[in-house]
Amino acid sequence: MKKFVIENEFWELFPTAKIGIIVANDIDNTIKDEAKYAPMLAAAEKETDKFFTEGDFSKNPVIKVWREAFTKFKTKKGARSSIEALLKRVYNENHIGTINPLVDIYNSISLKYGMPCGGEDIETFVGDVRLTKAIGDEDFITLGSEESAPPYEGEIVYKDDKGAICRCWNWRESVRTMLTENTKHAFLCIELVDETRTEDFEAALNELSGLVTENLGGTAKISILDIDHKELVIVKE
C-alpha cells in the first residue's frame, strides 16, 4: 500500500491550506494528435486576463498569495510558484507549448483557475509520498540537469523514500517521477492557500478530473486533504 501523507511540519506553517488530489488510473497518455491540446491551452491563456488586475505583476492576488507563502520556509533564490511561472509567460506573451496530454490538461486548468497544478507518475514512487519539510540531503535531479541538487533543510517538498519529488512546494519537479507518455497511473494535485477561493478550487478539481477521463480514459478519484484529513491511500496492494 502506498500513501500520501501531509506531515505536521507542513501544517504548522499552513494550517488553513487545502491540497486536492486526483488519482487517475488506467489512463492512456500517449500523444496521438500533437495539435489536439493546443486550442485548450490557447483558450486558457485568454482567461488569464482576469488575474491581471494590478499594474505591478507581483501584486496581483494570485501571485501575491504564493509569494507570501514562499516567505514562510527556506527557498532557493528566485524560486517561484508554478502558477506564477505559467502566468508570467502568458503576461509576457510567450505561449504555453504542448508537452503531453496530462501535462497539457493540467496546465490549462492551472491557467484557467490561477492555481498551481502538478502531476507525477505513481509507478515511480518509492514508498509513501510526503508533503513536509526537507532534511536537506534528499536526492533531486530536475529536467535538463544531470547533477543532484538537494533541497535546503526546512524547505517544503514533496518526497518519497528515494528523494525529493518537487522542490519549494511546487516550484520544480524531479525528472524521476514526471509524467510521460508511458504513464498509466497518475497523481495529480491542485494546491490552495487562499481560503477565499475554495469554490474555485473545487471547481478546478472537478474540471480536471472530468477532462482526464474524457480525454484519456480510465478512472479518476478526487480527494481533498486539510489539517483534519492528513493522509490518503494512493495504491492498495
Mean confidence (pLDDT) of the chain: 96
What tens digit of pLDDT does each residue of 65-118 get? 999 999 999 999 999 999 999 999 999 999 999 999 999 999 999 999 999 999
Separation of alpha carbons 89 and 61, rounded Å: 17
In the numeric block, the cell 503576461 is attached to 91
What tens digit of pLDDT does each residue of 118-154 get? 999 999 999 999 999 999 999 999 988 889 999 999 9
Cα dihedral 101/63/199/227 (nearest 10): 100
One-letter amino acid at 104 equals D
DSSP line for 45-79 = HHHGGGG--SSSGGGSHHHHHHHHHHTTS---TT-
pLDDT value at position 237?
A: 67
In the numeric block, the cell 487517475 is attached to 24
pLDDT value at position 143?
A: 85
pLDDT value at position 144?
A: 81
Separation of alpha carbons 3 and 1, rounded Å: 7
pLDDT value at position 196?
A: 96
Separation of alpha carbons 237 and 232, rounded Å: 14
What tens digit of pLDDT does each residue of 179-212 get? 999 999 999 999 999 999 999 999 999 999 999 9
Average pLDDT (46-63) is: 95
CB 128 within 8 A of CB 2: yes
Reported in sequence order, the residue ranges of the chain that DSSP labels E, i.e. its strands, are 2-6, 18-25, 117-121, 129-133, 156-159, 164-167, 172-173, 186-192, 219-225, 231-235
CB 193 within 8 A of CB 17: yes
Average pLDDT (161-190) is: 98
